[in-house]
Structure 1
Amino acid sequence: MATEIDEQSSTGPSRASRQILGILMLGTFIGFLNQTLMNTALPSIMADFHITAALGQWLTNGYMLVNGVMVPLTAFLIQRFTTRQLYLSDLTIFGVGTLIAGLAPNYPILITGRMIQAMGGGIFGPLMNVVIMNLFTVEHRGRAMGIIGLALNFAPTLGPTVSGWIVTYTNWRNLFFMVAPLILLDLIFAFFKLNNIGEQKFLKFDFLGVVLSSLGLGSLLVGFSNAGTGNWGAFDVWGYVLIGLLITAAFVYQQTHAKLRLVNFGVLKYRRFNVAVLINVVLMIALYGGAILLPLYMQVVMGRSAFESGLVLLPGSLITALLSPVSGALYDKYGARNLTLVGLIINAVGTIMLGLLNFHSSLLYIMLWQVIRQVGLVIVTMPIQTEAFSALPLHLIADGSAMFTTIRQLAASFGTAVLVTIMSLVSTNVAHGGAVTANHQLVGIQVTYFVATVLVLIAAGLTRLLKVDGHYHAPDDKFA
Structure 2
Amino acid sequence: MDASATQHSQTQIKVLPIMIAFLMSGFIGLFSETALNMALADLMREFEIRETTVQWLTTGYLLVLGILVPVSGLLLQRFTTRQLFIAALSFSVVGTLVAALSPTFTFLMGARVIQAIGTGLLLPLMFNTILLIFPPEKRGAAMGMIGLVIMFAPAVGPTISGLIIEHLTWHWIFWISLPVLVFSLIFGIIYMQNVSETKTIKLDALSIVLSTIGFGGIVFGFSSAGEGDAGWLEPKVLISIGIGVLFLILFSLRQVSMDQPMINLKVFKYPMFTIGLVMIFICMMVILSSMLLLPIYLQGGLVLTGFVAGLLLLPGGVVNGLISPVMGRLFDKYGPKWLVIPGFIIISVVLWFFTTINTASTTAFIIVLHTCLMIGVAMVMMPAQTNGLNQLPKQFYPDGTAVMNTLQQIAGAIGTAVAASIMASGQKDYMATVKNPADPSVISASITAGTQHAFVFILTVAIIGFLGSLFIKRVNVKEVS
TM over 0.5: yes
1:229-268 matches, cutoff 5 A: 231-268=231-268
Q: Deviations over 1:198-247 (max 9, x none)?
A: 21111111111111111211111111112245811112322211121122
The aligned counterpart of 2:387 is: 387
Answer whether contact 2:34 2:292 (CA < 8 A) is retained. no
1:473 to 472, 478, 481: 478
- Distance in 1 of aligned mates of 2:249 and 2:306: 40
The aligned counterpart of 1:176 is: 174
Q: Deviations over 1:311-339 (max 9, x none)?
A: 21111011111111111111111111111
Q: State the shift of 1:359 in Å.
A: 2.9
Answer whether contact 2:223 2:413 (CA < 8 A) is retained. yes
Of 134-143 and 163-172, more deviation after overlay is shown by: 163-172
Q: Deviations over 1:97-118 (max 9, x none)?
A: 2222223454444333322221
- Distance in 1 of aligned mates of 2:88 and 2:415: 29
Q: State the shift of 1:429 in Å.
A: 5.8
Q: State the shift of 1:441 in Å.
A: 4.8
1:445 to 425, 448, 451: 451
| SS of residue matched to 1:227 | coil
In structure 2, relative to structure 1, the CA distance for the partners of 1:426 and 1:107 (3 Å cut) is closer
In structure 2, relative to structure 1, the CA distance for the partners of 1:128 and 1:158 (3 Å cut) is same
- Distance in 2 of aligned mates of 1:225 and 1:350: 26
The aligned counterpart of 1:157 is: 155
In structure 2, relative to structure 1, the CA distance for the partners of 1:288 and 1:174 (3 Å cut) is closer
In structure 2, relative to structure 1, the CA distance for the partners of 1:347 and 1:471 (3 Å cut) is farther
1:7-406 matches, cutoff 5 A: 16-45=14-43, 55-228=53-226, 231-406=231-406
Identity over aligned residues, as a percent? Answer: 34
Answer whether contact 1:228 1:416 (CA < 8 A) is retained. no
Question: Partner amino acid for 2:223?
Answer: S
In structure 2, relative to structure 1, the CA distance for the partners of 1:155 and 1:273 (3 Å cut) is same
In structure 2, relative to structure 1, the CA distance for the partners of 1:97 and 1:285 (3 Å cut) is closer
| SS of residue matched to 2:37 | coil
Q: State the shift of 1:430 in Å.
A: 6.3
Q: State the shift of 1:281 in Å.
A: 2.8
Q: What is the aligned-residue RMSD (CA, Å)?
A: 2.5
- Distance in 1 of aligned mates of 2:408 and 2:9: 30
Q: Deviations over 1:329-370 (max 9, x none)?
A: 111111111111121222223222223323322111110111
Q: State the shift of 1:31 in Å.
A: 0.8
- Distance in 2 of aligned mates of 1:425 and 1:105: 31
In structure 2, relative to structure 1, the CA distance for the partners of 1:171 and 1:268 (3 Å cut) is same
The aligned counterpart of 2:3 is: none
1:460 aligns with 2:466: yes
Answer whether contact 1:255 1:261 (CA < 8 A) is retained. yes
Q: Deviations over 1:102-154 (max 9, x none)?
A: 23454444333322221111111111110001110111100001001121101
Question: Partner amino acid for 1:221?
Answer: V
- Distance in 2 of aligned mates of 1:120 and 1:54: 25
- Distance in 2 of aligned mates of 1:419 and 1:52: 15
Answer whether contact 1:2 1:135 (CA < 8 A) is retained. no
Question: Partner amino acid for 1:271?
Answer: P
User: TM-score, normalization: structure 1?
Assistant: 0.90
The aligned counterpart of 1:11 is: none
In structure 2, relative to structure 1, the CA distance for the partners of 1:409 and 1:205 (3 Å cut) is same
Unmatched tracts of structure 1, length 5 or more: 8-13
In structure 2, relative to structure 1, the CA distance for the partners of 1:98 and 1:429 (3 Å cut) is closer
The aligned counterpart of 1:412 is: 412
In structure 2, relative to structure 1, the CA distance for the partners of 1:127 and 1:45 (3 Å cut) is same
Q: State the shift of 1:290 in Å.
A: 3.7
Of 420-429 and 168-177, more deviation after overlay is shown by: 420-429
- Distance in 1 of aligned mates of 2:308 and 2:143: 31
Answer whether contact 1:287 1:452 (CA < 8 A) is retained. no
In the alignment of these two chains, the number of paired residues is 468
Q: State the shift of 1:167 in Å.
A: 2.2
The aligned counterpart of 1:10 is: none
Of 184-193 and 302-311, more deviation after overlay is shown by: 302-311
